[in-house]
C-alpha cells in the first residue's frame, strides 16, 4: 500500500529562513528517485537545486514559480510504494494495497530504488536535505500532520494558493467568517492579530498573492484606533476589536492606496533583501570611519604589462591588488578581525578569506576567495575568474558567499574615483579602489602625466585607531606606487 510522505523545504543553512521557487523540475505524477533534484530555488545567498530524500510518485506540489516559501513549509508530497499509474495519493488509477512494479521490488529504475529504500513498508529516505549540507536519517518516530489526499485537479487549485498557507507548525486562525487557511506566514503577524482580537480574514494582504504582512495588521489597528474603536494591545484578546477592525477595512484600503500613489512597490527579497538587511545591520552595529589617499599606479600598471608580456596566465589587476592586501594584512592583522559583542572581544583571524564585490544581473554579490594569503597572483586570477562567472550564472553556493574576513571593492569599474563603502558585516574593514586615469602628477620633482588611483579604507573604529588604519592604507599605496616594496616584504 502506498504511503504518502510530505517533503518540506529544508534548512538551507547560513541563517536562511526562506527561498523563492524559481523552477519546478518535476510534475505531479512523475516518478522521482531518492535524492533527485525536484525544484530550483533562489535564496538570499544563491540559486540551488533541492533534492528530495524520498523516492516514489509525486502527488502534489505546493507553491507556484515565483512564490516564496519559509523553511519548513511543504514543498511536495511523494507516494512511496506506488507506481505512476496508481495516480496521486492513491486515487483511482491503482488498487490501494495491491502489488505494483515499485512495491514488488522488481523494477530496477528510480521507482524500484525508492521501494528498496522504503524497506518493509516503512517509508525511509536518504535523509539528505541539501547537497553540501550532509545527511541525517529521519527520526524513528515523528509527529506527522495528516492531510487529505490530493488529486491532480486539487493540485491545480493548490498551485494558485499562496505558499504561506502551508507554513509548517503555524496554526491556522480559525474564524466563523469563512473557510480555508489565512494567507499568513509569520507567527508574529498571527500573534499581533490574536492579541488585539483582529480577524485576519477581514484584511486584504499587500504581499505577493495576497499574503498578509505585519504592516497590513498595523494599518488595520492604526486605522481603527484613529476612529477610537481599538484599545491598546494587551496579553489577552479584546472581544469587540474584530468588529472595529472590520469596519476600519475601508480606512486601511485608503491608507494603503495613498501610500502607493505615484510609485511602484518593489519587494525587498532575494539578493536585494539580503543586501539591505546586511547593510542596515552594519550601519547599526559598526562605528566605521574612512580614510583615503591618491596613489601613482603607473609602475604597477607597467609591472602587470611586463608580467603578461612574458607569456603564461594573464594576471588581472584585481589579483595584484589582492596580493597587496594580503601582504598589508600580515603587517596590520587588526584589520583582519571581527568583534564578538557577546563576550566583548576582538577576534583576530589567521586566514584571510578575501571577499570581492561583483555586480551581476541578480544584484551585488560578494564571493569569497578562501585562504587568499596562500595564493599567488596566478592562483588569485583564476579564482577571481571562476567566482565571477559563477556569480553571473547564479550558481554560487552559500559557502562561496559567506565567511569573508576582509573585502576588496573595485568600484573603479563603474567609472568613479572614490567612495565610502559600508563594511560587509561582520568584517572589520574594506579597501576601495577607484578608477585609474591619467592625471597631472609631480614625479621626481617634475610635473608629468601619470596613472593615478584613489584608494579608500573604511574600518571598524572598535578594532583599531586611525594610526593603524593609516599605516595599512599607506603601505598599500606604497606597494601600488613601487611594486618592489611588496617584493621586499615577501
* Cβ proximity of 305 and 316 under 8 Å: no
13-41 average pLDDT score: 83
Taking only the tens place, the pLDDT of each residue in 386-415 is 999 998 888 888 889 889 999 999 998 889
pLDDT of the residue at 15 = 58
pLDDT of the residue at 204 = 80
d(C-alpha 120, C-alpha 115), whole Å: 9
pLDDT of the residue at 139 = 40
**Most confidently modeled of 203-212, 234-243, 297-306?**
297-306
d(C-alpha 276, C-alpha 270), whole Å: 10
271-489 architecture in CATH? 2-Layer Sandwich (3.30)
Residues with Cβ within 8 Å of 386's Cβ and at least 6 positions away in sequence, in order, are none
C-alpha to C-alpha distances, 303 to 306, 329, 367, 437, nearest whole angstrom: 5, 22, 27, 17
| Domain 3-166 CATH class label | mainly beta
Residue 90 has pLDDT above 50, yes or no: no
pLDDT of the residue at 457 = 97
- In degrees and rounded to multiples of 5, residue 215 shows phi and psi of -60, -35
Give the chain's largest Cα–Cα span.
Answer: 95
- In degrees and rounded to multiples of 5, residue 464 shows phi and psi of -160, 170
CA of residue 329 relative to chain centroid, distance: 29
Active site residue 461: yes
Between 397 and 474, the more confident residue is 474
Instruction: Give the three cell numbers for residue 134.
Output: 550532509
**Most confidently modeled of 83-97, 113-127, 193-207, 457-471?**
457-471
State the helix-helix crossing angle for 187-195 and 214-226, rounded to 10 degrees: 20
Residue showing cell 572589520: 428
291-306 average pLDDT score: 95
Q: Which of 240, 353, 425, 461 is catalytic?
A: 461
455-475 average pLDDT score: 96
* Cβ proximity of 91 and 149 under 8 Å: yes
Residue 341 has pLDDT above 80, yes or no: yes
**pLDDT confidence tier of residue 232, bands split at 50, 70 and 90:** very low
Between 192 and 95, the more confident residue is 192
Nearest to 321 by CA among 360, 375, 377: 377
Residues of each domain in the chain carrying CATH 2.40.50.100:
3-166
Instruction: Give the three cell numbers for residue 270.
Output: 532575494
**pLDDT confidence tier of residue 306, bands split at 50, 70 and 90:** very high
CA of residue 372 relative to chain centroid, distance: 24
d(C-alpha 354, C-alpha 477), whole Å: 19
Residues with Cβ within 8 Å of 424's Cβ and at least 6 positions away in sequence, in order, are 278, 282, 355, 366, 404, 407, 430
449 DSSP β-pair partners: 440
d(C-alpha 75, C-alpha 79), whole Å: 14
8-32 average pLDDT score: 81
pLDDT of the residue at 61 = 93
pLDDT of the residue at 375 = 95
d(C-alpha 294, C-alpha 297), whole Å: 9
- In degrees and rounded to multiples of 5, residue 257 shows phi and psi of -65, -45
Between 179 and 348, the more confident residue is 348
Taking only the tens place, the pLDDT of each residue in 109-166 is 444 444 433 444 444 455 444 433 334 444 444 444 444 444 444 444 444 443 333 3
Amino acid at each position: 500500500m502506498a504511503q504518502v510522505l510530505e517533503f518540506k523545504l529544508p534548512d538551507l543553512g547560513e541563517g536562511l529562513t526562506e527561498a523563492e521557487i524559481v523552477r519546478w523540475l518535476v510534475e505531479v505524477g512523475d516518478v522521482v528517485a531518492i535524492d533527485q533534484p525536484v525544484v530550483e530555488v533562489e535564496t538570499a545567498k544563491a540559486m540551488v537545486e533541492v533534492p528530495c530524500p524520498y523516492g516514489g510518485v509525486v502527488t502534489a506540489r505546493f507553491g507556484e514559480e515565483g512564490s516564496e516559501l519559509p523553511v519548513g513549509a511543504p514543498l511536495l508530497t511523494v507516494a512511496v510504494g506506488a507506481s505512476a499509474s496508481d495516480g496521486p495519493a492513491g486515487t483511482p488509477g491503482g488498487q490501494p494495497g495491491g502489488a505494483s512494479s515499485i512495491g514488488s521490488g522488481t523494477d530496477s529504475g528510480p521507482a524500484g530504488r525508492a521501494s528498496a529504500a522504503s524497506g518493509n513498508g516503512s517509508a525511509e529516505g536518504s535523509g539528505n536535505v541539501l547537497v553540501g549540507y550532509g545527511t541525517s536519517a529521519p527520526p524513528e518516530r515523528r509527529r506527522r500532520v495528516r492531510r487529505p489526499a490530493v488529486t491532480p485537479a486539487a493540485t491545480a487549485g493548490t498551485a494558485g494558493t499562496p505558499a504561506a498557507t502551508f507554513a509548517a507548525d503555524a496554526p491556522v486562525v480559525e474564524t466563523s467568517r469563512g473557510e480555508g487557511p489565512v494567507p499568513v506566514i509569520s507567527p508574529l503577524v498571527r500573534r499581533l492579530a490574536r492579541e488585539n482580537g483582529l480577524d485576519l480574514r477581514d484584511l486584504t494582504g499587500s504581499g505577493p498573492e495576497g499574503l498578509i504582512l505585519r504592516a497590513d495588521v498595523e494599518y488595520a489597528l492604526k486605522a481603527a484606533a484613529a476612529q477610537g474603536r481599538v484599545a491598546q494591545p494587551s496579553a489577552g484578546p479584546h472581544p469587540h476589536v474584530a468588529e472595529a477592525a472590520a469596519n476600519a477595512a475601508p480606512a486601511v484600503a485608503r491608507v494603503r492606496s495613498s501610500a502607493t500613489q505615484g510609485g511602484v512597490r518593489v519587494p525587498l527579497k532575494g539578493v536585494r533583501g539580503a543586501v539591505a538587511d546586511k547593510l542596515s545591520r552594519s550601519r547599526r552595529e559598526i562605528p566605521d570611519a574612512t580614510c583615503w589617499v591618491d596613489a601613482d599606479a603607473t609602475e604597477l600598471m607597467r609591472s602587470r604589462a611586463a608580467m603578461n608580456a612574458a607569456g603564461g596566465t594573464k594576471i588581472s589587476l584585481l589579483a595584484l591588488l589582492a596580493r597587496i592586501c594580503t601582504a598589508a594584512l600580515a603587517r596590520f592583522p587588526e584589520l583582519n578581525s571581527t568583534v564578538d559583542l557577546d563576550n566583548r572581544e576582538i577576534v583576530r583571524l589567521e586566514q584571510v578569506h578575501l571577499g570581492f564585490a561583483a555586480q551581476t544581473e541578480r544584484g551585488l554579490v560578494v564571493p569569497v576567495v578562501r585562504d587568499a594569503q596562500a595564493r599567488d597572483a596566478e592562483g588569485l586570477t583564476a579564482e577571481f575568474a571562476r567566482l565571477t562567472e559563477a556569480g553571473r550564472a547564479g550558481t554560487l553556493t552559500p559557502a562561496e558567499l559567506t565567511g569573508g574576513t576582509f573585502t576588496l571593492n573595485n568600484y573603479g569599474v563603474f567609472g568613479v574615483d572614490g567612495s565610502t563603502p559600508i563594511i560587509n558585516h561582520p568584517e572589520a574593514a574594506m579597501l576601495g579602489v577607484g578608477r585609474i586615469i591619467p592625471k597631472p602628477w609631480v614625479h621626481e620633482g617634475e610635473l608629468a602625466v601619470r596613472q593615478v588611483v584613489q584608494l579608500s579604507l573604511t574600518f571598524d573604529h572598535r578594532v583599531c585607531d586611525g594610526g593603524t588604519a593609516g599605516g595599512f592604507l599607506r603601505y598599500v599605496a606604497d606597494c601600488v606606487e613601487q611594486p618592489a616594496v611588496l617584493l621586499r616584504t615577501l
